[in-house]
Structure 1
Amino acid sequence: MTKKLLILLFFLGSFFMHSQNLVWRTNMTDAIAISNELRKPMLIFFTASGVPENLQNEVFKTPDFAVWSRDNVVLVKLDLSDINASESDKEQNVRLKNAFGVEELPEVCFASASIRKNKTTFSALGKLGYKSGGAKSWIAQSNSILHPSEE
């Protein structure tokens, strides 16, 4: 009996460890291609060093968010302070921040995009920053942005 319980705990533990391994894209071109291929909008997370980590700690690092994000969005992280980013990526990230009207970091923008004749067109769906209440509350607000007709 003890052996079966240990095996069960091992599998549950590995499931939860795996569920929190989120794949954050950092290249917008790749993210758009994956978003269009999967027919899921992008969750674009604008951040920088030194900003509060409440959103990451209370929402993004939870099993609820891991499951929800896998089923609903393509994750994109644009770190405006990334010293390893190329100059063109830094410029692109600042242009996107301004285009989406992001004023305070961290903030999430939901969007879809298409590329035609080497021109990218974004369709903004909504924005959401940190709000206390945990992952379930944040996910509910995100769902109201992504699926407004279901309310």
Structure 2
Amino acid sequence: MTKKLLILLFFLGSCCLHAQSPVWRTNMDDAMAISNEEGKPMLILFTAASAPSDLQNEVFKTADFAVWSRDNVVLVKLDLSDINADETTKEQNLRLKNAFGVDELPEVCYARASVRKNKTTFTALGKIGYKPGGAKYWISESNSILHPSDTE
């Protein structure tokens, strides 16, 4: 009986951990559709294999970030070093990186997008890179970008 209970607890625990994992979109068209449908801005992470992992480890892999992101943004990860991406996607990601003025990787840009007459227009809300201080500090800084009237 105890063995069955332990197996059940292990299974439920792993399901709960998996349920808290943020869902990162890699297709910009899908992310824009979800963003507009849910009325949430996109958090666009520009990264590469050679980028430092501080932001990933100290912010994105935390339960605080998982809960905050689920309620506030649509997550988009654009890996500029992805060798499996097709040429069109690579070009699109590079154009977006340049359009948002991303200089260092990893960096996050907050934006909304609209499509009118088959032309996509992005409205940049702000950007943020890695900041020491943990997930709660980073989330607070992000909230000040997303909700500037709340901080005044």
Q: TM-score, normalised by structure 1?
A: 0.91
Which secondary structure state, in structure 2, belongs to the residue aligned with residue 15 of structure 1? helix
Aligned to 2:116: 116
**Unaligned residue ranges in structure 2 (runs of 5+):** none
1:15 Cα shift?
2.1
Paired residues in the alignment total 148
Look up the match of 1:17: 18
Offset, 1:10: 6.3
The code of the aligned residue for 2:15 comes to S
Q: How far does residue 50 in structure 1 lie from its aligned partner after superposition?
A: 1.1
For the residues of structure 1 that align with 2:30 and 2:110, how far apart are their CA atoms? 16
Give the AA of the match of 1:19: Q
- Over aligned residues, Cα RMSD in angstroms? 1.7
Q: Counterparts in 2 of 1:2-151, with a 5 A limit?
A: 11=12, 14-20=15-21, 22-151=22-151
**Percent identity of the aligned residues?**
73
Distance in 2 of aligned mates of 1:19 and 1:10:
15
Shift of 1:16: 3.1
**Equivalent position SS for 2:125:** strand
Counterpart Cα distance in 2 of 1:94 and 1:10: 41
CA drift of 1:23 comes to: 1.1
Unaligned 5+ runs, structure 1: none
CA distance in 2, matches of 1:145, 1:74: 15
- TM-score normalized by the length of structure 2: 0.91
CA positional deviation for 1:91: 0.4
Q: Secondary structure at the match of 1:70?
A: helix
The 3-state SS of whatever aligns with 1:132 is: coil
Q: Per-residue displacement from partner, 1:62-107 (whole Å, max 9, x unpaired)? A: 0000000000000000000101111011000000000000000000
The alignment partner of 1:23 has SS state of coil
Q: Residues of 1 paired with 2:26 and 2:15: CA distance?
A: 26
